[in-house]
């Protein structure tokens, strides 16, 4: 009842929107194309040194630096410490944020500091669980980069640690709190695309950097890189710089394209639909081009089944990543429903609605005599399957963020710090983070087992 009321409300507003666009009575509107602006209200505060949030960074690599830059745009936040296992990154941290920040290669020394309120965990995936729990137990709020865990079994330990400590913990899928996601969720709940039928997600890349062949600095050696600590609970192997600086390429430390890219899409998908996640996955692919020693595929196709719930119909999701896309690259996230589709990005949402053809056309009628065709046409006309109402509210609307929008990454940190200050609810807590990571990691389970795998989205475990 509520869902149907929302749908009718959306149709009424969409019709009115097309009327405004055409400056004609809305009953005559048959199609439209319009652009509208997204907006968001932020609390403006004035913070002194006594009430600012002091931040520590664990893992000052690529994502750690991008995270910290986004975090420091939020008012009342200051970086006071950084930890990394490569001394060159500690030098870079001082270069970016001041020579007076505390730096160390030992995360325990950072967590011991009483002046640190929150930490960013931006290390390789196989360290996420240990560091997140250690930071929570040290009384720090934690922003843990996605995927929250390397293996789904680790997730419950983080959930338990967050509950027992009572400290704020947010998982870092940076687009989660974006204007695009917020608008898409509202549109979906209003019935803009009808019942969801499928999701189509793809990410194509065509560069060495995009395929994780990151540069290795010339001063990297056993003195400047603490390789043994980096290995952590992973198998012991001889010192190798590629494993340290290109860790995403190895199952021992990373999670492949599933943990790096799929998890973003699952965060957005589950958020928009208020979903617990899929219950089945089937994955295939292979290592087609980047034969650089990696043991994860560079082409992956995974198909997921979502069961029917109170918030969505049963549907299918298609995830595709290609690291050797000769087209040059690109990406998309498209929700397809029975009455329309949404292309969702962090900065924009495009809603397209078209009319469902219910009356046969020339293709199927060609097999009948002219007299029979006339009878068929009359029979369909009597059924009145294509009503005038079905011709209304057809067209395209794009909602775009303003030019001065700081982006989804900023919004996610804004949400994190508002949560710390007790002024907002965390968008992606550990339970949400495990549901997104667990769903994504099903791709790896299926790929390496070479068979479909089943998942309990409520209990968050394999079945």
* Exposure of 40 in the CB half-sphere (CA atoms within 13 A): 25
Question: What pLDDT shows up at residue 18?
Answer: 41
Query: Averaged over 268-278, what is the pLDDT?
Result: 98
Q: What is the pLDDT of residues 158-212, one digit of tens each?
A: 999 999 999 999 999 988 999 999 999 999 999 999 999 999 999 999 999 999 9
Given a cut of 50, whether residue 19 has pLDDT beyond it is no
How many whole angstroms separate alpha carbon 380 and alpha carbon 383? 5
Which domains does the chain show, CATH number per domain?
A: 2-38+193-405 (3.30.360.10)
Mean pLDDT of 306-320: 98
Q: Average pLDDT of 358-369?
A: 91
Q: What is the DSSP string of 358-426?
A: -S--HHHHTTS-HHHHHHHHHHHHHHT-S-HHHHSS-EEEEEE--TT---HHHHHHHHHHHHHTTSS--
At 21 the pLDDT is 37
Neighbours of 213 (CB within 10 A): 18
Task: Read off the pLDDT band of 289 (50, 70, 90).
Answer: very high
Q: What is the pLDDT of residue 155?
A: 98
Check residue 229 and give its pLDDT. 98
Look at residue 316 and give its three-state secondary structure. strand
Is the confidence at residue 1, as pLDDT, over 90? no
pLDDT band at 48 (very low <50, low <70, confident <90, very high): confident
CB 336 within 8 A of CB 345: no
Residue 249: CA count within 13 A, CB half-sphere: 21
pLDDT tops 70 at residue 105? yes
- Provide the token pair at 229: 């600590």
Least confident of 36-45, 115-124, 298-307, 436-445: 36-45
The pLDDT assigned to 175 comes to: 87
Residue 306: strand pairing partners: 315
What stretch of H or E contains 306? Answer: strand 299-306
Average pLDDT of span 321-326: 98
Max alpha carbon distance in the chain (Å)?
A: 89
> Which residue, 150, 137, 144, 78, is CA-closest to 108?
137
CB 311 within 8 A of CB 361: no
């Amino acid at each position: 009842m509520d869902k149907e009321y929302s749908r009718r409300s959306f149709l009424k507003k969409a019709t009115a929107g097309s009327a405004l666009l055409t400056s004609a009575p809305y009953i005559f509107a048959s199609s439209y194309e319009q652009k509208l602006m997204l907006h968001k209200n932020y609390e403006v505060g004035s913070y002194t040194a006594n009430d600012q949030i002091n931040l520590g960074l664990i893992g000052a690599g690529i994502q750690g630096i991008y995270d910290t830059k986004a975090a420091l745009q939020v008012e009342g936040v200051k970086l006071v410490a950084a930890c990394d296992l490569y001394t060159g990154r500690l030098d870079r941290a001082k270069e970016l944020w001041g020579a007076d920040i505390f730096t160390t290669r030992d995360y325990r020394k950072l967590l011991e500091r009483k002046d640190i309120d929150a930490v960013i965990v931006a290390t390789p995936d196989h360290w996420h669980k240990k560091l997140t729990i250690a930071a929570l137990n040290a009384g720090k709020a934690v922003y843990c980069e996605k995927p929250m865990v390397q293996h789904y079994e680790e997730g419950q330990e983080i959930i338990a640690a967050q509950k027992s400590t009572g400290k704020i913990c947010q998982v870092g899928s940076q687009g989660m709190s974006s204007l695009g996601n917020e608008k898409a969720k509202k549109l979906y709940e209003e019935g803009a695309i009808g019942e969801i039928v499928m999701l189509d997600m793809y990410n194509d890349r065509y560069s060495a950097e995009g395929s994780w062949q990151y540069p290795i600095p010339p001063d990297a050696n056993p003195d400047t890189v603490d390789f043994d600590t980096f290995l952590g609970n992973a198998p012991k192997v001889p010192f190798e710089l590629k494993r340290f600086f290109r860790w995403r390429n190895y199952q021992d430390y990373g999670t492949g394209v599933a943990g790096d890219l799929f998890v973003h899409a699952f965060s957005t998908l589950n958020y928009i639909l208020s979903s617990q996640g899929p219950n089945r996955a089937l994955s295939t692919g292979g290592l087609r081009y980047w034969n650089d020693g990696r043991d994860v595929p560079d082409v992956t196709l995974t198909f997921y089944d979502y069961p029917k719930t109170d918030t969505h119909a049963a549907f299918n999701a298609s995830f595709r990543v290609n690291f050797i896309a000769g087209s040059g690259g690109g990406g998309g996230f498209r929700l397809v429903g029975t009455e329309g589709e949404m292309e969702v990005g962090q900065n924009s949402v495009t809603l397209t609605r078209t009319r469902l053809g219910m009356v046969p056309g020339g293709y199927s009628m060609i097999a009948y005599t002219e007299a029979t065709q006339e009878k068929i046409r009359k029979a369909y006309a009597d059924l009145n399957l294509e009503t005038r109402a079905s011709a209304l509210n057809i067209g395209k609307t794009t909602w775009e963020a303003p030019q001065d929008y700081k982006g989804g990454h900023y919004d996610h940190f804004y949400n994190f710090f508002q949560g710390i200050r007790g002024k907002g609810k965390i968008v992606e807590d550990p339970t949400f983070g495990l549901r997104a990571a667990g769903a994504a990691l099903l791709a790896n389970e299926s790929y390496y087992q070479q068979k479909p795998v089943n998942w309990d989205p409520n209990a968050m475990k394999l079945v």
